[in-house]
Structure 1
Amino acid sequence: MSGIEDKGDFGTGSADRGSARPVADPAVVPVILNPTARRGAVLRRIDPLVHAFAAHGLEARLVRSTSEEHAKELAAAFAAEGAKVVGALGGDGMARTVAAGLVDTDTALGVIAGGRGNDLIGKLGIPKRVEEAVATIADGSDRVIDVLDLDGTISLGNVCLGLDSTVQRHANSTRVVRGHWVYLYGILRAILPPRSIDLELTVDGQRLDFRGLTAGFANSGRYGGGLTLSPEAAIDDGLIDVVLLKEAWLPKLAVELVAFMSGRHDRHPNIHLSRAREIRIDTPAGAAPVEIVADGDAVAQTPATVTIRPSSLRVRVPRTS
Structure 2
Amino acid sequence: MRQFTAVVNPTAGGSAGAAALLAVARLLREAGAGLDTEYSRSLGHAQDLARQAGERGKAVLAVGGDGITGRIGGALSGTGALFGIVPAGRGNDFARALGLPTDPDALARILLHHAPRPVDTIEVRSAFHDHVVVLGSVYAGVDAVANRHANHARLLRGTASYYAGGLRAVATWRPARYRVTVDGEEHPHTGYTVVAANSGYYGSGRLIAPDARLDDGLLDVVLIREAPRRLFFALMNELRSGTHVRRPEVHVLRGREIRVEADRPVPYGADGEVDAVLPVTVKVLPGALRVLC
Instruction: Answer yes or no: is 1:224 the counterpart of 2:200.
Output: no
User: How big is each residue's C-alpha offset from its partner over 1:73-122, in whole Å with a ceiling of 9 and x where there is no partner?
Assistant: 22222222222x21111111111111122111222111001101111111
Matches within 5 A, 1:301-312: 301-312=277-288
In structure 1, what is the equivalent of residue 5 of structure 2? 30
Instruction: Answer yes or no: is 1:183 the counterpart of 2:159.
Output: no
In structure 1, what is the equivalent of residue 16 of structure 2? 41
Residue 243 of structure 1 aligns to a residue in which SS? strand
Give, in whole Å, the separation in 1 of the partners of 2:21 and 2:111.
Answer: 16
In structure 2, what is the equivalent of residue 23 of structure 1? none
Matches within 5 A, 1:187-266: 187-266=166-245
Task: Choose 178-187 or 211-220, whichever is displaced more.
Answer: 178-187
Structure 1 runs (4+) greater than 4 angstroms displaced: none
In structure 2, what is the equivalent of residue 81 of structure 1? 56
Give, in whole Å, the separation in 2 of the partners of 1:249 and 1:46.
Answer: 45
Give, in whole Å, the separation in 2 of the partners of 1:98 and 1:245.
Answer: 30
In structure 2, what is the equivalent of residue 64 of structure 1? 39
1:231·1:265 contact (CA, 8 Å) conserved in 2? no
Unaligned runs of 5+ in 1: 1-25
Give, in whole Å, the separation in 2 of the partners of 1:235 and 1:219.
Answer: 6
Q: Structure 2: which amino acid aligns with 1:218?
A: A
Q: CA deviation at 1:208?
A: 2.4
Between the two proteins, the alignment pairs up a number of residues equal to 288
Q: Structure 2: which amino acid aligns with 1:225?
A: S
Q: State the identity %.
A: 34
In structure 2, what is the equivalent of residue 100 of structure 1? 74
Give, in whole Å, the separation in 2 of the partners of 1:217 and 1:133.
Answer: 29
Q: CA deviation at 1:137?
A: 0.8
Distance 1:310 1:55, change over 3 A: same
Q: CA deviation at 1:266?
A: 4.1
Distance 1:297 1:229, change over 3 A: same
Unaligned runs of 5+ in 2: 126-130
In structure 2, what is the equivalent of residue 54 of structure 1? 29
Give, in whole Å, the separation in 1 of the partners of 2:43 and 2:287.
Answer: 23
* Superposition CA RMSD, Å: 1.8
Give, in whole Å, the separation in 2 of the partners of 1:244 and 1:165.
Answer: 14
Distance 1:55 1:69, change over 3 A: same
1:50·1:59 contact (CA, 8 Å) conserved in 2? no
Give, in whole Å, the separation in 1 of the partners of 2:285 and 2:155.
Answer: 38
Q: Structure 2: which amino acid aligns with 1:120?
A: F
1:212·1:247 contact (CA, 8 Å) conserved in 2? yes
Q: 2:124 aligns with which of 150, 161, 171?
A: 150
Give, in whole Å, the separation in 1 of the partners of 2:11 and 2:108.
Answer: 21
Give, in whole Å, the separation in 2 of the partners of 1:266 and 1:224.
Answer: 16
Q: Report which of the two has the higher share of strand.
A: 2
1:112·1:134 contact (CA, 8 Å) conserved in 2? no
Task: Choose 299-308 or 110-119, whichever is displaced more.
Answer: 299-308
Q: Which has the higher contact order (CA 8 A, sep 6+)?
A: 2
When the two structures are superposed, what TM-score results if normalisation uses the length of structure 2? 0.92
Q: CA deviation at 1:68?
A: 2.2
Q: CA deviation at 1:261?
A: 4.6
Give, in whole Å, the separation in 1 of the partners of 2:20 and 2:186.
Answer: 48
Q: 2:275 aligns with which of 299, 305, 314?
A: 299
Task: Choose 291-300 or 271-280, whichever is displaced more.
Answer: 291-300
User: How big is each residue's C-alpha offset from its partner over 1:195-250, in whole Å with a ceiling of 9 and x where there is no partner?
Assistant: 32222222211222222101100001201221111120011110110111011112
User: How big is each residue's C-alpha offset from its partner over 1:108-156, in whole Å with a ceiling of 9 and x where there is no partner?
Assistant: 1110011011111111111123443233211222110001111231121
In structure 2, what is the equivalent of residue 140 of structure 1? 114
Instruction: Answer yes or no: is 1:123 the counterpart of 2:116.
Output: no
Which has the greater radius of gyration? 1
Q: Structure 1: which amino acid aligns with 2:158?
A: G
User: How big is each residue's C-alpha offset from its partner over 1:254-288, in whole Å with a ceiling of 9 and x where there is no partner?
Assistant: 2233224530034311011110111122233xx3x
Residue 24 of structure 2 aligns to a residue in which SS? helix
Task: Choose 206-215 or 111-120, whichever is displaced more.
Answer: 206-215
